[in-house]
Amino acid sequence: MKITSSAFQHHQQIPRKYSCDGQNINPPLVFVDVPQAARSLVLIVDDPDAPRGTWVHWLVYNIPPDVREVKEHSAPRGGIEGMTSSGKPGYAGPCPPSGTHRYFFKLYALDAMLGFDRPQRVDTKMVEERMKDHILEQAELVGLYSRS
């Protein structure tokens, strides 16, 4: 399985457009070779270089396994956006206080859908706990961003 973007290459600079310094919209993404047995996909975008620990920029779970593309400035079709570290759902682009940070776009193929009592309040810790025994495959795309 693989996750790619036409906006930037693996370990290359994320364009300003997709950051807090630009339009703060998500870049286009493509999912390749999703396992046939997948029942759902999870997308987590985070920054492990944040000063106070890993900062979650986007969380989308229960994405239908037939989704192969996420268009620029849109959420994955059919997925549920969970809470980010900013305390609200939706994409929040790179916005490091200083230096160059790494942004991990992580895609997980699961053998199950994830159920939650209050889907609007789900965060990454909850998703990671529920999905840990259901991961079929995972892939990541790492982008870099530094503020000028």
- Residue span of the structural domain in which 33 resides: 2-146
Please report, for the domain that includes residue 12, its CATH number.
Answer: 3.90.280.10
Q: Over range 28-48, report the average pLDDT.
A: 98
Cβ pair 14, 27 in contact under 8 A: yes
What's the pLDDT band for 85 if we cut at 50, 70, 90? very high
Does the CA dihedral 62-24-140-29 come out positive or negative? positive
Kindly report the pTM of this predicted structure: 0.97
User: Quick one: pLDDT band at residue 71, thresholds 50, 70, 90?
Assistant: very high
> At 128, phi and psi to the nearest 5?
-60, -40
Section 111-137 average pLDDT: 94
Quote the number of domains for the chain. Answer: 1
